Structure 1
Amino acid sequence: MSESAECLAIVTGAGRGIGRATALRLAEDGFRVIVVDRDPGNADHVAGEIRNHGGMAEPRVLDVTDRAAVRKEYAGVVEQYGRIDALVNNAIWLKYAPLVDFDESLVDGMFAIGIKAVLWGMQAVVPTMTAAGVGAIVNLSSPAAFRGGPGTSVYSTVKGAVTSLTTQAAVELGPLGIRVNAIIPGSIPTEGARQHVSNATYAARGDSVPLRRNGTPEDIADGIAYLLSPRAAYVNGHLLAVDGGYLVS
C-alpha cells in the first residue's frame, strides 16, 4: 500500500474524538477518507474540514451494527472508487456501571457496536482487499482489555474480544495480504469519554503514567497512521500501546 492520493480509507466513528483526528491525519497522508458516523452533522463537518485543507473525503451516515447496511455501503464505495485499502474500526459506545447493574439492553448495545460492528466491517472489506492482494485493518483495543477497573466489566469484555479478534484475523487474513493490527489508546480525554470520566479523574490519570500526561486524539491518530503505512508493511497481529507507558507501569 502506498501513501498516495489513490488510496482509500474508511474510518468509523469519525465524527469526533479519535475518529476525527484519525480521518484528518490519514487525509494528510494522502488517503481519500470515507468519514463514517451515525451523526450526519458530525460526518459532514469532518469531511468538510478535510476538504477545506485540500484533502479528499466524503461523509457516510451508517449504522455499523447493521451487517447488511455495512456490506451495502462498503460495496458502494468499491463500486464508486474501485478499492478499499484501509479500515479503521473506531466506533464505540460505552457505559460504566457495577457488574450487577448491567441489563440486557446495555450489554447488547455495547456488544453490537463494540464487537459485532468490528466483525461486520472486516467481513465487508476482506473481498476487495483479497482481490487486490493487499490491505490493512486497525481495530481499537484498550488498556481495559488487560487491566480491570471499577465499572468496566462489559467494556473490558468488549475490548478483550476485539483484541482476540485482531490477533486471530491477523493469522487468517495475513496469507491474503491483509494486515490486521490494533491500537491501545491510553487516557485520552475526548468529548465522548468526558461524559463518563471527570476532570479530576483525568488529572489523576495523567499524573500516574510514566510520561506524566494524558494523551491526545492526535497521538492515537499518529499510531494508527503508522500501522496503515508502508513503514509497517511487516507488522501484523501487533497490539500497539499508545498510552504514555501506562501498561508497563
Structure 2
Amino acid sequence: MTKSLEGRVALITGASRGLGREIAQRLAQDGASVALLDRKAHWAEDLVAEIESTGGKAVALGSDVSDRKALTAAFESAVSALGRLDIVVNNAMWTKYAAIEDIDEESLDRMLGVGVAGIIWGTQAAAAAMRQQGGGSIVNIASVSARLGLPQAMVYCGIKAAVEGMTRSAAIELAPAGIRVNAVAPSTVATEGVRAMLDEATFEARVASTPLGRLGATSDIAEAVLFFADPMRSGFVTGQSLLVDGGISVALR
C-alpha cells in the first residue's frame, strides 16, 4: 500500500527526543524522508539509524533555531540532502517556569528566542523553500496553555498564545503560495521530561483534571501533526489550531 507521504520531505525542529522524536518517527512511517534538526546534530544520529534500518531516509542537522543565519543554513542543507521540503514542524522549545517576581532576563531571552523567534525564522526558511515547488505545510506546536492560565508560566503561556497568533497570520499571507500553516495545541504530554519536571502530586492532579482520565501521549500529538502534514487529509485546512487535550480546555472542574 502506498504511504501518503511517500516522496515528501519533512523537517522537524527539536527532533532528537520527546515529542519531536515521535513526530519524526510517525512522518517517516508514513513515507516521508525526514530532516532531524536539533541544537547538536549528533543528538539525532541514533534516530537517523533507526529510521534507515526500516528503509526510510533521514539526515541529522545541528542548529540553534533562535539563530536566523544558522537555521536558514540548516534548511538549505536539508533541501540539498533530500531534494525538496514539503513539511516543516516547528516543535523546538526551551522552558523555565518561574513565579512572576523570579523571571530573569537570561531565561526570558532564551524562551523568546526559541519559542517566538524560532517560529519566525523557521516559517521564513520554510516559505522560501516551499514557494519554489508550489506549496507545502507548516505545523507549529502551540499549547492549551495559550488559552488557559497556569501559575508560574506567564512567559510560557504568552509564547504559546503568540504561536497561535503567528500561525493565523502566516496562514493568510502564505495561502496564495499554496502553503498551509496550522498548529497543534497539546495539554501536558507524558514525556520523560515532563515526568522529571513534575512531582507526583502535580502529575496526578493534571491527570485528574483531564476528562479523558489520562495525559496525552506523544503518539496522540504526532497523529495530529500527520493530519496537518498530509494534503490528502487536510488540504483545505489552514490557519487552525487543533486542541489535543483530552477535553481539559472545555471542562469545568
CA distance in 1, matches of 2:173, 2:221: 26
**CA pair 204-61 structure 1, distance change in 2 beyond 3 A:** same
Q: Percent identity?
A: 42
Where in structure 1 are there 5+ consecutive unaligned residues?
A: none
Post-superposition CA distance 1:196-216 (Å, at most 9, x none): 322322222112211111111
SS of equivalent residue, structure 2 residue 71: helix
SS of equivalent residue, structure 2 residue 192: coil
1:234 aligned partner, one-letter code: F
Number of corresponding residues: 248
Structure-1 residue corresponding to 2:151: 150
Deviation at 1:176, TM superposition (A): 0.9
1:130-149 matches, within 5 Å, as 130-149=131-150
Structure-2 residue corresponding to 1:237: 239
Q: Report the TM-score, using the length of structure 2 for normalisation.
A: 0.94
Structure-2 residue corresponding to 1:224: 225
Deviation at 1:231, TM superposition (A): 0.7
Contact 1:16 1:191 in 2 (8 A): no
SS of equivalent residue, structure 1 residue 192: helix
SS of equivalent residue, structure 1 residue 132: coil
CA distance in 2, matches of 1:173, 1:19: 24
Structure-1 residue corresponding to 2:69: 68
1:238 aligned partner, one-letter code: Q
SS of equivalent residue, structure 1 residue 214: coil
Structure-1 residue corresponding to 2:160: 159
**CA pair 214-4 structure 1, distance change in 2 beyond 3 A:** closer
Structure-1 residue corresponding to 2:49: 48
CA distance in 1, matches of 2:194, 2:175: 33
Q: Report the TM-score, using the length of structure 1 for normalisation.
A: 0.95
Q: Within the alignment, does 1:188 sit opposite 2:193 as a pair?
A: no
* 4+ runs deviating over 3 angstroms: none
Post-superposition CA distance 1:185-232 (Å, at most 9, x none): 122121222343223222221122111111111110010011111210
1:13 aligned partner, one-letter code: G
Deviation at 1:75, TM superposition (A): 1.4
Where in structure 2 are there 5+ consecutive unaligned residues?
A: none
1:1-249 matches, within 5 Å, as 3-229=4-230, 230-249=232-251
CA distance in 1, matches of 2:24, 2:199: 27
Contact 2:126 2:138 in 1 (8 A): no
CA distance in 1, matches of 2:55, 2:199: 36
